[in-house]
Amino acid sequence: MVKAIKIDNLKYSYDERSLFSDFNLDIDAGQWVALVGHNGSGKSTLAKLILGLLVAEQGDIDVFDERLTVETVHHVRSKIGMVFQNPDNQFVGATVADDVAFGLENIQVESSEMPQKIDNALTIVGMQEFKNREPHTLSGGQKQRVALASVLALQPKIIILDEATAMLDPDGRATVMETLQKLKKQFGKELTLVTITHDMDEATLADRVVVINDGQKILDGTPAEVFSQRKALHENGLELPFANELAFHLNEKPNKYMDERELIQWLSTLNK
Ligand SMILES: Nc1ncnc2c1ncn2[C@@H]1O[C@H](COP(=O)(O)OP(=O)(O)OP(=O)(O)O)[C@@H](O)[C@H]1O
């Protein structure tokens, strides 16, 4: 199995404070991995280490069999697209199309090939009809889909989304997650997705969920495996996805008929 990302024996500290020590993680090509953990657990640091924005004190990071070093960092980075949390910090172009063009210009794509590449990328994320719009006139979810298009145009093998839906309203979140599901279908093994998130409902969409805390891997498995570990998740400050939490409580539901009012009252006591 081809490994998109292989992390061996990683060690990293911020000012004497050890965050990762002997951390290992392999991600198969084409896999969608949700990296979850509460605030400060080390998720964004891990993304920065993979991108070579931070340098590990010890250990190896390989991206599609290429070892990350000072010499290879630019080449390794070209295989990875990043989408960040704040949709407003990601635009450089005056229009949506200019924005997608910017990255293509940076990698010296011929200007004659540009319109087709821009249209393709925007079509994949369902934003083609907005190509002449000014980015600030878009909703949060639309902005994040444009950010995804800008990344996709560069044909990365891996896309890392760091809390890319955290600032969006529920509709925006839903459209971004639908877009990711569509990408997964369309690109299959050609695209590896890493979604860094607090949102457990989003994590259920991934192929695999890796829970980290204090730089340690706490749980690692399919969503069904990880979300059956309610106690371990709670101990690490995390909740179950809503549907799993509800199923857990329904199992424990008082074994009696409830009318609608009683049911609503009982539901409102969950998670308290
Ligand atoms: N530049 C830095 N200097 C010192 N400590 C840092 C720095 N950046 C992050 N940290 C600390 O490292 C730990 C991990 O931070 P990181 O941002 O990787 O966590 P995270 O899981 O992504 O958190 P969040 O979900 O809040 O974004 C935190 O305790 C944080 O305070």
Tell me whether residue 30 is annotated as binding.
no
Same domain? For 194 and 263 the reply is no
Same domain? For 246 and 229 the reply is no
Domain of 202 in residue numbering reads as 3-233
Number of domains in the chain: 2
Cα 44 to middle of ligand 1, angstroms:
7
The active-site residue out of 16, 71, 110, 163 is 163
Strands 208-213 and 80-83: unpaired
Same domain? For 24 and 141 the reply is yes
The answer to whether 163 is a known catalytic residue is yes
Same domain? For 185 and 251 the reply is no
Residue nearest to atom 11 of ligand 1 (CA): 40
Tell me whether residue 41 is annotated as binding.
yes
Task: Please give the number of the atom of ligand 1 that sits closest to the Cα of 48.
Answer: 18
Strands 192-197 and 158-162: parallel
Domain with residue 199: its CATH number is 3.40.50.300
37 lines ligand 1 (CB under 6 A): yes
Residue 92's contacts (CB-CB under 8 Å, 6 or more residues apart) are 98, 99, 102
In this structure, what is the dihedral angle of CA atoms 262, 263, 264, 267, given to the nearest 10 degrees? 120
Can you tell me the distance from the alpha carbon of 141 to that of 147, in angstroms, rounded to the nearest whole number? 10
Handedness of CA 245, 248, 253, 257 (dihedral sign): positive
How does pLDDT run along the chain (272 residues), one tens digit per residue?
899 999 999 999 998 889 999 999 999 999 999 999 988 889 999 999 999 999 999 999 999 999 999 999 999 999 999 999 988 887 888 999 999 999 999 888 998 999 999 999 999 999 999 999 999 999 999 999 999 999 999 999 999 999 999 889 989 999 999 999 999 999 999 999 999 998 888 999 999 999 999 888 999 999 999 998 988 888 888 888 877 777 777 776 666 666 777 777 777 776 55
